[in-house]
Chains A and B, each alone.
Chain A
């Protein structure tokens, strides 16, 4: 699936988007997988309370299912307006 990063999460991980082959069932499972990859992921995902997640472009929670998901995005709390 496509995994997207925005704002400081993008800067910390170093890419805006990547394709991840995963069997993760939930967002939390995916986060655990990514954390185990490299230090930059562990750093970006150190504090999940500082992050928000969208699955298929809809804001959701970290316990959300990834069944059938094509796109997951991680980013800090939004600052629009």
Chain B
């Protein structure tokens, strides 16, 4: 299991490829990548991601371990960045390896839902007009209830 919190970019291809190799019994690998999007008004200059250094790794490990308890997973990968990111840059990725496709997909969705509202990251959008903290949505919290 690899959990990383870092400011520097990651190589999606290299990470996915390293994660997918070396198993003989994992029939399904799912990867998800989150990207900075300029959806609000088309004038997003950058996104600043703040985190709680002492807590972040522990929170991510807890979420990943819970996924491993609930689904049949051979391996889990979580990489999440912090700091300044430009539109189009990759923020984070998760990957799951399982003997079965259903477990790999469901566990990846579970990881994403929990990363959104239970991992101590906060996003701020910097536009030409100023800066605004991204507000959590009610549906993000609701998404946890389905698990």
Residues from chain B with a CB closer than 8 A to the CB of A78 are: 116-122, 136
User: Does A36 sit at the interface, judged by CB under 8 A?
Assistant: no
Residues from chain A with a CB closer than 8 A to the CB of B59 are: 59
Contact of A54 among B55, B112, B122 (CB under 8 A): B55
Are A81 and B112 touching (Cβ within 8 A)? Answer: yes
Range, interface on chain A: 10 to 19
Residues from chain A with a CB closer than 8 A to the CB of B141 are: 77
Cα distance A77–B117 when bound, in Å? 7
Please provide the chain A residues from 1 to 46 with a CB less than 8 Å away from any CB of chain B in the complex.
Answer: 4, 6-8
User: Does B124 sit at the interface, judged by CB under 8 A?
Assistant: yes
User: Does B80 sit at the interface, judged by CB under 8 A?
Assistant: yes
With A6-B120, A7-B122, A7-B124: A79-B134 Cβ-Cβ less than 8 Å: yes
Please provide the chain B residues from 74 to 111 with a CB less than 8 Å away from any CB of chain A in the complex.
Answer: 80, 91-92
Mark contacts of B47-63 with chain A using CB atoms, 8 A cut-off: 1 yes-contact digit, 0 otherwise.
Answer: 00010101100110000
Are B58 and A8 touching (Cβ within 8 A)? Answer: no
From A6, A54, A75, A81, residue with most partner B Cβ within 10 Å: A81
Cα distance A57–B118 when bound, in Å? 12
Are B50 and A6 touching (Cβ within 8 A)? Answer: yes
Task: A75-B52, A81-B116 are known; give 4 further A-B pairs, CB within 8 A.
Answer: A54-B120, A78-B117, A78-B136, A80-B119
Binding site for A on B (CB under 8 A): 34, 50, 52, 54-55, 58-59, 80, 91-92, 112, 115-124, 133-136, 140-141
Q: Can you sample 30 A-B contacts with CB below 8 Å?
A: A4-B52, A6-B122, A7-B122, A7-B133, A57-B52, A57-B54, A57-B55, A59-B118, A73-B52, A73-B120, A75-B120, A75-B122, A76-B122, A76-B135, A77-B117, A77-B136, A78-B116, A78-B117, A78-B119, A78-B120, A78-B122, A79-B122, A79-B134, A79-B135, A80-B80, A80-B115, A80-B117, A80-B118, A81-B115, A81-B119
Binding site for B on A (CB under 8 A): 4, 6-8, 54, 57-59, 71, 73, 75-81
